[in-house]
Amino acid sequence: MANANHWKNWAENVESRPKNIFFPSSESELQQIIHQATQQQQKIRVMGSGHSFTALGETDSVMIFLNNLAGLVNVDKSKKQATVWAGTTINALGKLLAPHQLAMANMGDIDVQSIAGATSTGTHGTGINFGGISTQIVSFRLLTANGEILTCNAEENAHIFAGGRVSLGCLGIITQITLQLVDAFKLKYVAEKADFETTLANLETYKQNNRNFEFYWFPHTDTVQLKFNNETSEPIKDNAVSRYINQNIMENTVFSLICGAGKMFKNSYKRISKIIAWGVSKEERINQSWAIFASPRKVKFREMEYNIPAEHFPAVIREVKAYLEKENMPIFFPLECRWVQADDIWLSPAFGRDSAYIAFHVYKGIDCEPYFKAMEAICNRYEGRPHWGKMHTRRAADLEKLYPKWADFQQLRQELDPQGLFLNPYLENIMGAKSAALV
Ligand SMILES: Cc1cc2nc3c(=O)[nH]c(=O)nc-3n(C[C@H](O)[C@H](O)[C@H](O)COP(=O)(O)OP(=O)(O)OC[C@H]3O[C@@H](n4cnc5c(N)ncnc54)[C@H](O)[C@@H]3O)c2cc1C
């Protein structure tokens, strides 16, 4: 949310009062903003839809939104590629690509992020044959601190391409992104209830035999909700009424009421979790991929998500379960478990390893610190790397040990932005960088 120099992120845990907020409509306008900010010793944060939980958007200087730099630039049907303005939301993208019979191969579970915001934090979906969304980037245009516009891909500025696909907005402003797409496809979505240990016993089969597999585990219960997506040529079957009931009433309105009760009656967390688990029903829908991947999220929460090497997943989730039970931790919000393929993007949490992600959520207004701290300690013992858009306490000294290309990224950042124009105090801590004496 941004108005009259006041910005809040979606989770409402980060707020800023920037001196100036800009909505440029062209690259040349962006160049002028950079020039002016540099002259006035201001710093710049360029933001997408504000769906990150960390202080990436904290600034009292200049904030830029690319809402007016959105839409298709061009489509290359023969290569199945499209170039889009960086401010395009993933939701808009699905609709823009549909007439060209093209689609993104994979997506996360919401679609309101801007494509540049989603990729800059390493946003991912699930599926062992798919990397995070940034791996779909084949080229991007980067406007740097000195006003230059660079085309970055495997041939041109290849080192910036390697580092810049997950870069938290601290290398410069991405203005356009070219994505590798696939032919439009339909997905059959099936959700069903299962038992925790049976799920772990069948894990490899579920991961191998389904295009996209994930599960939610309901704390203090042995219940999980399995979710499978598979390509289909069957006709669309996505009843608007039952979808409304499932997505808006069960997953949002009723869920919100139950969470509210959980917040009010603190000792009822086990019962609340059981009620949520009990509410899981068998669900089946068929629709275009982009209409299946994403759902509305109206219940506000805080989230931490950790990437761990895929082989450690069973040990980590068992340890998490045992810890919550032993410590009677008052958690009732389901944990989400997903998988992605290894990639080669320097700051991608999946760099060099097939990965599992475990996401920990806390309903708004409930203190998340003891839970996140305990879960982070477990993940850290298994080479955990935090999701860049979600809460964590890791700083440069920890992160440099987790990322083999950390030093290369820092050198690139220094090369492209020696004055730290695109840093804020949070990023200075994360990057271990001090910006020049700007505002
Ligand atoms: C309800 C909810 C559901 C979510 N589901 C998922 C999920 O399924 N999978 C997952 O992995 N994550 C998920 N996330 C996290 C989310 O995808 C990331 O935090 C993502 O970054 C948000 O995109 P945004 O457009 O809101 O970016 P913002 O939060 O606005 O910005 C994120 C970063 O991108 C940078 N950036 C934005 N635009 C540009 C640009 N043009 N040039 C350079 N840098 C730029 C910003 O500087 C900032 O550092 C979820 C978050 C929420 C709140």
Please give the pLDDT value at position 299: 86
Is 261 part of any domain? Answer: yes
Is 41 part of any domain? Answer: no
pLDDT > 70: percent of the chain = 94
Q: Please give the Cα distance from 122 to 113 (Å, whole number).
A: 12
What the block records as the tokens of 323 is 């810890």
| Residue-averaged pLDDT of the chain | 93
State which ligand 1 atom lies nearest to the alpha carbon of 422: 47
pLDDT > 90: percent of the chain = 85
Is 161 part of any domain? Answer: no
Distance of CA 405 to the CA centre of its chain: 21
Task: Quote the pTM value.
Answer: 0.95
Is 434 part of any domain? Answer: no
**278: how many CB neighbours lie within 10 A of its CB?**
12
Which residues are near ligand 1 (CB < 6 Å)?
Answer: 10, 45-52, 56, 66, 86, 108-110, 113-114, 116-118, 120-121, 123-124, 168-169, 173-174, 297, 387, 389
CATH number of the domain where residue 336 is located: 3.40.462.10
Backbone dihedral angles phi then psi of residue 176, each to the nearest 5 degrees: -140, 150
Is 1 part of any domain? Answer: no
In terms of phi and psi (left: phi > 0; alpha: psi -120 to 50; beta: otherwise), the region of 93 is alpha
Going across the sheet that includes 15-16, the strands are 2-3, 6-8, 15-16
Backbone dihedral angles phi then psi of residue 180, each to the nearest 5 degrees: -85, 120
Is 12 part of any domain? Answer: no
| Residue 334: DSSP 8-state | P
C-alpha 156 – ligand 1 centre gap (Å): 26
User: What would the mean pLDDT of 96-113 be, rounded to a whole number?
Assistant: 96
Q: Please give the Cα distance from 31 to 26 (Å, whole number).
A: 9
Q: Please give the Cα distance from 291 to 1 (Å, whole number).
A: 24
Count up the domains in the chain and report the number. Answer: 1
Please give the pLDDT value at position 4: 66
Please give the pLDDT value at position 212: 98
Q: Identify the weakest region by mean pLDDT among 50-64, 237-251, 420-434.
A: 237-251
Please give the pLDDT value at position 318: 98
Is 425 part of any domain? Answer: no
The pLDDT confidence band at residue 1, using thresholds 50, 70 and 90, is low
Q: Please give the Cα distance from 2 to 114 (Å, whole number).
A: 15
DSSP bridge pairs for 229: 189, 212
Q: Which domain holds residue 357?
A: 186-386
Please give the pLDDT value at position 275: 85
Helix (H, G, I), strand (E, B) or coil at 140: strand
Q: Given a cut of 80, is residue 336 above it in pLDDT?
A: yes
Is 131 part of any domain? Answer: no
Q: Please give the Cα distance from 333 to 302 (Å, whole number).
A: 10
Please give the pLDDT value at position 241: 65
C-alpha 16 – ligand 1 centre gap (Å): 17
